[in-house]
Amino acid sequence: MKIIAKWFLLTGILGVILTGCGTSEDNNNGSNGATSTEDVEQVEQNENQATNNNESDENQNAESGLDENNEGVSSRSSEQKLQYQENGEKKEETAILKESDNQNYSLYVLPGYELTAEEPNKDSLYLSEDGQVFMRIEMLPTDMQWDTIVENTKAQLAAVNEEVETIEVPSEDFFKDSIAMETSTDEDIVTAYMIKNVEKPFKFTIFTKKDSDYKDAFLQMGKTIAAGKAE
CA 231 remoteness from chain centre: 23
Q: Is the pLDDT assigned to residue 118 strictly greater than 70?
A: yes
For residues 33-45, give the mean pLDDT.
47
Query: pLDDT grade, residue 17 (50/70/90)?
Result: very low
pTM for the model: 0.73
CA distance 38 to 36: 5
pLDDT confidence bin for 3, thresholds 50/70/90 = low
**Cα–Cα distance, 231 to 228 (Å, whole number):** 9
Q: What is the mean pLDDT of the chain?
A: 78
Interval 33-54 mean pLDDT: 48
What are the domain boundaries of the chain?
2-227
